Amino acid sequence: MRYEPENRLVASALKYWKWNGFLSSLFWWIVPLAYFFAIRFLEWPQWILGVLIIACVGITILATTLFPKITWERWRYDVSNQEIDLLYGRWIKKRTIIPMVRVQHVDTKQGPLMKQFALSAVTISTAAGSHEIPALAEEVADELRDRISVLARVVEEDV
Amino acid sequence: MSDPERLHPAAVLEYLIKNIRSLIEILLPGSVVLFSSPLRREWIIGFILILLGLYIGFAIIYWLRYRYYVYNDELRVEYGVFTSKKTYIPLERIQSVQVSAGVAQRIFGLVKLEVQTAGGGLAAEVSLPAITLQQANVLQERLHLPPIQRMEEESSDHPSPERKLSWKELMITASTSNGLGVVFLGATALISQVEQIFPDRNIYEMLGHFLSGYGNKGILVWVVMFLLLLIMAWLLSMLGTVLSLGGFLLIREEDRLVISRGLIEKKQVSIPLKRIQAIKIVEGVLRQPFGLITLHVVSAGHGDKSGRDVVLFPLLPKKDLDEFLHIYLPEFAIEKEIIPLSAAAKTRYRLIYTIPALLIAIPVSILLPYGFFSFLLPIGAFFLGVQQYKDAGWKINGDQLLVRSRMFGRVTTLLKRQRVQSFQLRQNPLQRRKGLHAFSIMVASSLGGTNISLNGINEQDSVEIIDWV
Options 3.40.50.880, 3.40.50.2020, 2.30.29.30, 3.90.930.60; CATH of A77-154: 2.30.29.30
Q: What is the pLDDT of residue A55?
A: 94
**Does B159 map to a domain?**
no
CB-CB under 8 Å, A2 with B424? no
Identify whether the C-beta of residue B87 lies closer than 8 Å to the C-beta of residue B71: no
Chain A residues near residue B448 by CB distance under 8 angstroms: 127-129
Residue at which a domain ends, from B190, B217, B245: B245
**Residue B120: closest C-alpha in chain A:** A127
B197 and B239 both lie in a single domain: yes
Structural domain of B15 = 10-142
Residues of B in contact with A131 (CB under 8 A): 422
List C-alpha distances in Å: A75 to A7, A61, B79, B431: 8, 21, 51, 19
- Rg over CA atoms, chain B: 28
Q: For chain B, which residues score pLDDT lower than 50?
A: 1, 152-156, 215
Measure in Å the smallest separation between the Cα of A129 and chain B Cα atoms. 7
Q: Which chain A residues have a beta carbon less than 8 Å from that of B420?
A: 99, 102
Interval A17-72: pLDDT, tens: 999 999 999 999 999 999 999 888 888 888 899 999 999 999 999 999 999 999 99
Contacts of B300 in chain A (CB under 8 A): 127, 159
Q: Report DSSP state, residue A7.
A: B
In angstroms, what CA-CA distances link B27 with B20, B44, B63?
A: 10, 12, 23
In angstroms, the CA A60 to CA B227 distance is: 54
Query: Which segments of A65-97 does DSSP mark as H helices, in order?
Result: 66-74
Q: Cβ of A2 and B463 within 8 Å?
A: yes
The strand pairing partners of B267, in sequence order, are B100, B261
Q: What is the DSSP letter of B149?
A: P
| pLDDT on residue B303 | 56
Helix, strand, coil distribution of chain B in percent, nearest 5: 45, 30, 25
Does some domain include residue B424?
yes
Which residue in the set A1, A128, A158 is minimally distant from B421, CB to CB?
A128
In whole angstroms, what is the distance from residue B138 CA to residue B105 CA?
18
Question: Other C-beta atoms within 10 Å of B66: how many?
Answer: 21
Which residues of chain B are at the A interface, by a Cβ-Cβ cutoff of 8 Å?
95, 118, 274-275, 277, 300, 418, 420-429, 432, 442-445, 448-450, 463, 466-467, 469
Min CA distance, A110 vs chain B (Å)?
24
Q: Which residues does chain A have within 8 Å of residue B118's beta carbon, measured at their own beta carbons?
A: 127, 159
Per the structure, the count of domains in chain B is: 4
Distance CA B299, CA B312 (A): 11
Distance from the Cα of B428 to chain A's closest Cα (Å) equals 4
Residues of chain A in contact with residue B418, where contact means CB-CB under 8 angstroms, are 101
- Point out the residue among B277, B428, B442 whose CB comes nearest to the CB of A92: B428
Measured between alpha carbons, how far is A80 from B207 in angstroms, rounded to an integer? 69
Is the distance from CB of B102 to CB of B111 less than 8 angstroms?
no
B345-370 residue pLDDT tens: 999 999 999 999 999 888 888 887 77
Q: Which residue of B has its CA nearest to A130?
A: B422
The verdict on a CB contact (< 8 Å) between B445 and A159 is: no
Contact criterion met (CB < 8 Å) for B442 and A129: yes
Residue B130 included in any domain? yes
pLDDT recorded at residue B204: 59
Residue type, B72: N
Interface probe, candidates B420, B422, B455, B462, chain A, greatest A C-beta count within 10 A: B422
CA distance A102 to chain B (A): 6
Query: Is ipTM strictly over 0.90?
Result: no
Residues B220 and B289 in one domain: no
Nearest Cα to Cα of residue B12 among B81, B96, B115, B86? B81
Task: Say yes or no for a CB contact (<8 Å) between B442 and A128.
Answer: yes
A and B: number of Cβ contacts within 8 A: 78
- Number of Cβ within a 10 Å radius of residue B442: 26
pLDDT at A1: 47
Helix axis angle for B20-35 and B10-18, nearest 10°, is 60
Shared domain for B349 and B336, answered yes or no, is: no
Task: Select from B333, B365, B388 the last residue of a domain.
Answer: B388
Asked whether residue B158 is domain-assigned, the answer is no
Residue B160 counted as domain residue: no
Rounded to an integer, what distance in angstroms lies between the CA atom of residue A99 and that of residue B418? 9
CA terminus-to-terminus distance, chain B: 43
B396 contact partners, CB below 8 Å, separation of at least 6: B402, B464, B465, B468
Among A1, A102, A159, select the one facing B422 at the smallest CB separation.
Answer: A102
Q: What is the pLDDT of residue B333?
A: 87
Residue B235 lies in a domain: yes
Q: Which parts of A80-151 are beta strand (E)?
A: 83-88, 93-99, 105-109, 119-126, 129-137
Are A70 and A90 in contact by the 8 Å Cβ rule? The answer is: yes
Q: Do B396 and B285 belong to one domain?
A: yes
Q: What is the pLDDT of residues A96-127, one digit of tens each?
A: 999 988 888 888 888 899 999 999 999 998 88
Please tell me whether the overall predicted TM-score, pTM, comes out greater than 0.80 for this model. no
Please check whether residues B447 and B399 belong to one and the same domain.
yes
Residues of A in contact with B421 (CB under 8 A): 98-99, 102, 126-129
Q: Concatenate the DSSP letters of all residues of B23-79 into one string.
A: HHHHHHHHHHHHHTSSS-HHHHHHHHHHHHHHHHHHHHHHHHH-EEEEETTEEEEEE
Are residue B32 and residue B138 in the same domain, yes or no? yes
Domain ranges of chain A: 11-69, 77-154
Which one of B200, B227, B245 terminates a domain?
A: B245
**Torsion sign, CA atoms B178, B240, B271, B316:** positive
How many degrees, rounded to 5, is the angle at CA B117 between CA B445 and CA B64?
145
